[in-house]
Amino acid sequence: MSANYNNSVWFYDFLTGLVFGKTLFRAQVYLLNNIKPGNKILIAGGGTGKILEAITSIHHAGLKITYVDVSEKMIAASNKRDTGKNKVTFINAAIESSKLPDNFDVVITPFLLDNFTEENLQKIFSRIDQLLLPGGLWLNTDFQLTGKRWQKIMAGSMLIFFRIICAIEAKKLPDIQNCFNNNGYRIVEQKTYWGDFIITTAYQK
């Protein structure tokens, strides 16, 4: 079953801002300088679409962006964003069941992969991997556990909250970095935030 973030669209940005300030967004924006003019970009799980405006402030035109989110309310909110003269196609569907061409230069997954159980993460990872061209970039931002007790408590509490409100399936943070390592991805750029709890990485396929 896919998560249902429809219930959270009106408070998601406010609540995450209350807890993390601008850090979740800053961590995603940090990687956007890797996008080149004319790139074909897939954004999966972009939420309310703030990232579209951040991308547009760097590239006002010429990008071809496919924006996939399983929540129709998140898609509706994203549709209102200023995307300049870039061509944006919005798709309201789960990324794993979307019919998409397999020729993206860049894929972006901001706080998407933590929604899944370890088993489903492997499937979703493989599906997104198929869509990215060899040599393409995967910009991933998410939480990680580095052995600090407070991180485990914080991650556990957030997952319980989003399991109740948005029916996400994850009960613990899956090992996202392991997926990239096991599939031969190379780290191009990486930065951590919030006592290493948040990690943003540009991987090359």
Ligand X SMILES: C[S@@+](CC[C@H](N)C(=O)[O-])C[C@H]1O[C@@H](n2cnc3c(N)ncnc32)[C@H](O)[C@@H]1O
Residues at the interface with ligand X (CB under 6 A): 2-3, 5, 24, 44-47, 68-71, 74, 94-96, 110-112, 115
Q: How far is the CB of 94 from ligand X (least distance, A)?
A: 4
**Shortest distance (Å) from residue 162 CB to ligand X:** 7
Q: How far is the CB of 156 from ligand X (least distance, A)?
A: 16
Residues 6+ apart with CB under 8 A from 51: 25, 28, 29, 32, 43, 108, 110
Measured between alpha carbons, how far is 189 from 166 in angstroms, rounded to an integer?
A: 31
Closer Cβ to ligand X, 74 or 137, answer by number:
74
Q: Cβ of residue 87: shortest distance to ligand X, in angstroms?
A: 20
CA neighbor of 31 nearest in space, from 110, 123, 86: 110
Nearer to ligand X, 87 or 161 (CB): 161
Please, are residues 180 and 138 in contact by the beta-carbon 8 Å criterion?
Answer: yes
| Calpha distance 23→39 (Å, rounded) | 26
Separation CA 98–CA 168 (nearest Å): 19
Nearer to ligand X, 135 or 167 (CB): 167
96 vs 118, which CB is nearer to ligand X?
96
